[in-house]
Each structure stands twice: as C-alpha cells, then as structure tokens.
Amino acid sequence: MGEVEEMSLITTMLEKERSRNEYMREYYRNQIAALPKGSVVAKKAGNNIYYYLQYRNGPKVLSDYIGKESEKVDWVREQTTKRKHFEAMLSKLNKEHAEIQKTLEVIK
C-alpha cells in the first residue's frame, strides 16, 4: 500500500469517526436538554423532611418543590444523575472532536 493510499485510508477513517462523534454529541445535547438540571436537596421543617430540586438560573439559585420522600423524589434523583453522566460523556466527546479536527487539519 502506497503512502497516498495510507493517508486516504486514515483520512476516511477520521472522517467516519468525526461523523460518529458529531452524531453522538447531538444525541447527548438532546438528552441533556430533556433532563432536569441541578441537585435534589432535603430541608427539614419540624418533624418533616421536604425535597427540592435546586439549580442555577443565571446568578440565582432556584428551588422547585418536589415533595416528601416518594417515588417522584427518587425519579428526579435518577434524572439528575443521568444528566450529569450525559454531561460528562459530552465533555469527553467535545475533547475527542477537537483532537479529530486537529489531526484532519494536519494530514490534509
């Protein structure tokens, strides 16, 4: 295999990887947009514990009431955990995208 063919093969492979990367980045962006941001916090009032979804909106920290310990609280916790996982995956994909772009610029 000649040098030109090898470079063409590498370029093709990187282009496919860039396409896969862009697809996954868009997928994670959409997933993140559909999930609640913030964290579940517990506040005690008297003998009761109430749960809130706490998140930032610009400089303000907002709290949305979820309820007492229930399935809804567990569900919100799962959703915020899932969002954090997706954000970490998106961050890795963004770094990978930058590396792919740099490599393609060098070999083209």
* Length of the chain as a residue count: 108
Note the pLDDT tens digit of each residue in 15-72: 999 999 999 999 999 999 999 999 999 999 999 999 999 999 999 999 999 998 789 9
Note the pLDDT tens digit of each residue in 92-106: 999 999 999 999 998
How deeply is 84 buried, as exposed, middle or buried, from its count of CB atoms within 10 A (0-12, 13-18, 19+)?
middle
Distance of CA 84 to the CA centre of its chain: 6
Domain membership of residue 99 as a residue range: 3-107
Q: Where are the alpha helices (H) located in the chain, listed in sequence order?
A: 3-34, 71-107
Number of structural domains found in the chain? 1
